[in-house]
Amino acid sequence: MPGVFLKDALVTLKESGVRITPQRHAILEYLITSHTHPTADEIYKALESDFPNMSVATVYNNLRVFQNAGLVKELTYGDASSRFDFVTHDHYHIICDECGKIVDFHHPGLEEVERLAAHVTGFKVNSHRLEVYGTCPDCGEAQNEAK
């Protein structure tokens, strides 16, 4: 499936007039195959051995290009670092209060929230965001071992 997402994303970029450089290709592929919602710095560190001339600024600039093309969402959750998520489908995030891990989940019934909000308020709803916070299994296990 990641190959299909990458192919479609490359087509979207080309149709937007964006030139596909090796760095763009690598950053996009990393985002699609990564399930960790990486920061720009994490993407840079993962790719720096393959692209020694690439800077963190290059990663940020390309992430902005991907955002403008509608391929990537920037996730900000109160800490200083933005995380980036490749847009495959509508989904939600559960975030660990301890380590900051972000995990995707999907619940189709939550789309009803937009319809209800629009109906009750008269707003034209553009989007919504749901975040659930807790302790991931790894951090929970570490806490139990510390007791």
CA end-to-end distance (rounded Å), the chain = 42
| 128 among annotated binding-site residues | yes
| 145 among annotated binding-site residues | no
Q: Which residues contact 144 (CB under 8 A, 6 or more apart)?
A: none
| 114 among annotated binding-site residues | no
Encoded tokens for 23: 């760095």
| 139 among annotated binding-site residues | yes
Helix segments in 22-110, DSSP class H: 22-33, 40-47, 56-68
| 111 among annotated binding-site residues | yes
Binding residues for Zn(2+), as ranges, are 96, 99, 136, 139
Binding site for Fe cation: what residues are annotated?
111, 128
Annotated binding site: 96, 99, 111, 128, 136, 139
